[in-house]
Amino acid sequence: MIKRRYDYIILGAGTSGCYLAHVLSQDKANKVLVVEAGALSKNPVFTMPAGFTQTLFDKNYNWCFNSQPEAQLANRSIYCPRGKVVGGSSMINGMIHSIGQVEDYQDWQASGFDLVEPQAVMAKFQELFPNGDELTKAESHVLESAFLNACEQMGLPGVDKLHEHQSEHVAGTYYHTVASGRRASARSLLPDLKQRPNVTFLTDTVIDQLVFKQGKVHTIKACKGNKKPFDIAVKGKVILSLGAIGTPALLQRSGVGRVDDLSPLNIQQVQDLPVGENLQDHLLVKRTYKLNNVRTYNSDAAGLSITKTLWDYSVNRKGAMTAGASSTGAFLSVDDNERPDTQVFFSYGSATDNGKALIADSFDAITIGTYQLRPESRGKVAITSQDPFSSPSICYNYLASDTDWHVTREGLKYQERLMAQPAFTTYEPEALVTDTDHDDYIRDYAETAHHPVGTCSVGENGVVDGDLSVYGIDNLSIADASIIPSIISGNTQAICAVIGNVLGEAMLARSNHV
């Protein structure tokens, strides 16, 4: 048993966990333990932005979950990668910086989130992600002008910092969490965290369950990579930062959840809460268009060109290897509503998933995609075994509402109209798949945008209260995407950093050491 006293034990070293640890350990009197199932990896693939094309499928650094068959997606099981490494999913994501809309956080406030005001959430993004330090604008490409001109021809004006205009109908260039050609975000905190004497990382350690006594977490049951079990004594506060899949799974194994989910597995209920419910995600629909008369990133990854591309990255930190998942994009409403309901992504290349990696296609092409920003559909995460190494059941329940179908379908149609604009005529775009109607295309090709949230949501009828404390358990809080009551209007990595940061500041303010 680990008996050393820690003021804070953070389970999960993803984005929220790292930002939380960074704040809490600023008080040198605080002893902070961070427990992570993955390793503190030095693999160079994590520093190279384009390395996500490999790590998305690597079981050494990824939980590699799969959903249950999705009824509205031709009963396909949807792949659900989640980071299993210090840095979490921020080490394997596409690095697009997105902050949502202020209306998102007004909705959170109405649901009961009261750590900070909506405008203070927006200000936090600027504090945590200053331009040029944590953020880098995507490199220019001849197709950038084509895309932005096509958007203008569709009535969307261009802006520089797209993430600062997500409540508007605009197009622009994405900024990425890349600094000096290297992946940043949670990774940028690690050198400082590792040097702090009051921070301890316990890696390659899977959490089995929490043991409760007199309304508090008393012991944490864990096991190392060799599955040898051991206990961690709890003498302070415990914060779950295992993400929208991992956090509800741990709570359910520990007896926190609905009796219908626990009883079949012979788990005694400790606290009756809607754990695992309210799962939300963005459903991405993308198309590949072959192009002529232009060189795309596909050519940079082909034949002898890949040698030059790797050299350019190694020496200059430039080129295709610095690219995130998408370089340009837009926000719009498919029904001309005042508030945008759809996000557009445009990439200067295309790739095919071979089950082990994303491999650049052998022809020059682009990828364009859209997703509905605020889907109505709700799914669920539920464990199927008491075994912590067993994958939980994940049911996204995509497209369960007519509204979700409508907005998703119209987003796909918008892609087609955009690619038919005069700005692209020179490149003779040709869709790779043309022999199916819109609904069948969505059923056969739509996929996750990798933004699962909401499974331990904040609110009176949720799992945590307004300051992210778990109802009925005195020393247990949650800081990760699972607390999000309603998904934000954009990518979710940056808001996870904010969640960790603001909870840390609130805990410091209440600490006896301050």
List, by residue range, all CATH 3.30.410.40 domains of the chain: 139-173+283-374+399-445
Q: Does domain 139-173+283-374+399-445 have CATH number 3.40.50.1820?
A: no
Is 117 strand, coil or helix?
A: coil
pLDDT at 121: 97
pLDDT at 132: 63
- CA torsion sign for 76, 480, 285, 336 is positive
Residue 350: which of 328, 329, 371, 326 has the closest Cα? 326
List, by residue range, all CATH 3.50.50.60 domains of the chain: 1-135+181-279+382-395+453-514
- Residues 135, 305: Cα–Cα separation, whole Å: 28
Non-local (6+) Cβ contacts of 40 within 8 A are 85, 86, 190, 194, 201, 203
- Residues 362, 487: Cα–Cα separation, whole Å: 36
pLDDT at 513: 46
What is the full per-residue pLDDT of the chain (514 aa) written as tens digits? 787 899 999 999 999 999 999 999 999 999 999 999 999 988 888 888 888 888 889 999 999 999 999 999 999 999 999 999 999 999 999 999 999 999 999 999 999 999 999 999 999 999 999 876 678 888 889 999 999 999 999 999 999 999 999 999 999 999 999 988 888 878 889 999 999 999 999 999 999 999 999 999 999 999 987 678 999 999 999 999 999 999 999 999 999 999 999 999 999 999 999 999 999 999 999 999 999 999 999 998 877 778 888 888 888 888 778 888 899 999 999 999 999 999 999 999 999 988 888 888 999 999 999 999 999 999 999 999 999 999 999 999 999 999 999 999 999 999 999 999 999 999 999 999 999 999 999 999 999 999 999 999 999 999 999 999 999 999 999 999 999 999 999 999 999 999 999 999 999 998 854 3
pLDDT at 301: 81
Q: Which amino acid is at 267?
A: I
Is 23 strand, coil or helix?
A: helix
Write b or e for each residue in 450-464: b if 16 or more Cβ atoms lie within 10 A of its Cβ, otherwise e: bbbbbbbbbbeebbb
Domain 1-135+181-279+382-395+453-514 is classified in which CATH homologous superfamily? Answer: FAD/NAD(P)-binding domain (3.50.50.60)
pLDDT at 146: 97
What is the per-residue DSSP string for 432-447?
S--SS-HHHHHHHH-E
Q: Which amino acid is at 187?
A: R
Query: In the chain, how long is the greatest CA-to-CA distance?
Result: 71
Here the tokens at position 358 are: 């994303």
The CA-based angle 477-238-451, given to 5 degrees, is 55
How many angstroms separate the Cα of 446 from the Cα of each of 62, 89, 348, 478, 490?
A: 21, 21, 20, 31, 17
The answer to whether 449 touches 281, Cβ cutoff 8 Å, is yes
Non-local (6+) Cβ contacts of 151 within 8 A are 158, 171, 330, 418
Residue 84: which of 2, 236, 204, 229 has the closest Cα? 204
Is 136 strand, coil or helix?
A: strand
